[in-house]
Amino acid sequence: MLQKKKTEDVISFDNVSLSFGPDNKIFSNLDIIIPKGSFHFLTGPSGAGKSTFLKMVYLSQHQTAGSVFLFARNTLHINHSEIPYIRRKIGVVFQDFRLIPTLNILDNVALPLRVRGVETRKARSQAAELLDWVGLEDAMQRSPLTLSGGQQQRVAIARAVIGRPEILLADEPTGNVDDEIALKLLHLFEELHKVGTTVIVATHNRSLPHTFHHPEIFLNQGTGILIPPSSVPVFRNREGK
Ligand SMILES: Nc1ncnc2c1ncn2[C@@H]1O[C@H](COP(=O)(O)OP(=O)(O)O)[C@@H](O)[C@H]1O
Ligand SMILES: [Mg+2]
């Protein structure tokens, strides 16, 4: 690949391979660089390794060969005790949401602020603002168990962004919501990107990179290809505004 590694790269995969057994090779010699503040879509067919790629960035899956760098650290040299601190800089929307069933949705969203020591009232007030924004203002006291998949997804997104993470990882964030909400969520990611967040959105929907004019990392059969944004952005005028 022609990209050159720089110190401001926030994530880089250097000749990375991953196998879950002799007949289950997921990645072969993957070289991918994610510069700080960039926005990438991670695409590829089902089973291509999109979720696994995000797990590697989130330090919940290690490669079997090669090196992964996160915030300029080789992930193999990160101590177990450091992982929670590093993860605080990463907002993540898992494909299966992973909300906490014993907390209502207001406290689920407030949690990243609470673990950083923000006082309950302030954390809840910010969480309420975000829940209002994602259209769940009437559901704040409910248990996540009572919500639909699309509603849980919106809670998971609010929780991922509340701490203004340096990196936002979203795994199929538009998978369970209707088109209008999907667009709204992607515009929220755009806003975060504009204030400097590095964003990676995994999606099987290959029209999104064109609609949002961001590069695409296309995973397929163990390899990753970087596809630059299309030259005709859909949501911008000729001056690029
Ligand atoms: N812990 C694991 N053990 C064995 N196989 C796994 C494990 N995690 C993922 N896989 C396999 O890796 C492949 C990629 O999975 P995944 O990352 O979920 O793909 P995608 O998100 O693109 O649909 C799949 O074939 C999946 O079965
Ligand atoms: Mg997946």
Task: For residue range 61-79, list pLDDT tens digits in order.
Answer: 999 999 999 999 999 999 9
Nearest ligand to the CA atom of 95: 2
Residue whose CB lies within 8 A of the most ligand 1 atoms, among 16, 17, 19, 20, for a mutation test: 20
Distance 53 CA to ligand 1 centre (A): 9
- Looking at residue 240, its pLDDT comes to 42
Whether ligand 1 lies within 6 angstroms of the CB of 18 is answered as: no
Closest CA to 69 of 164, 167, 157: 167
Alpha-helical runs (H) found in 73-178: 83-87, 105-115, 120-133, 149-161
Which residues crowd ion ligand 2, with CB under 5 Å? 50-51
Q: How far apart are CA 184 and CA 18, in angstroms?
A: 35
Angle at 34 between CA 30 and CA 39, to 5 degrees: 125
Distance 49 CA to ligand 1 centre (A): 6
SS3 for 134?
coil
Residue whose CB lies within 8 A of the most ligand 1 atoms, among 17, 18, 23, 24, for a mutation test: 24
Q: How far apart are CA 43 and CA 53, in angstroms?
A: 11
| 105: CB partners within 8 A, 6+ apart | 99, 131, 136, 139, 140, 141, 142, 143, 144, 147, 155
Q: How far apart are CA 45 and CA 40, in angstroms?
A: 16
Low-confidence ranges of the chain (pLDDT < 50): 1-2, 233-241
Closest CA to 41 of 220, 223, 213: 213
Q: The pTM is what?
A: 0.89
Angle at 168 between CA 162 and CA 174, to 5 degrees: 90
- Looking at residue 3, its pLDDT comes to 58
- Looking at residue 208, its pLDDT comes to 86
Nearest ligand to the CA atom of 218: 1
Distance 182 CA to ligand 1 centre (A): 25
Task: For CA atoms 45, 49, 52, 54, give the dihedral sign.
Answer: negative
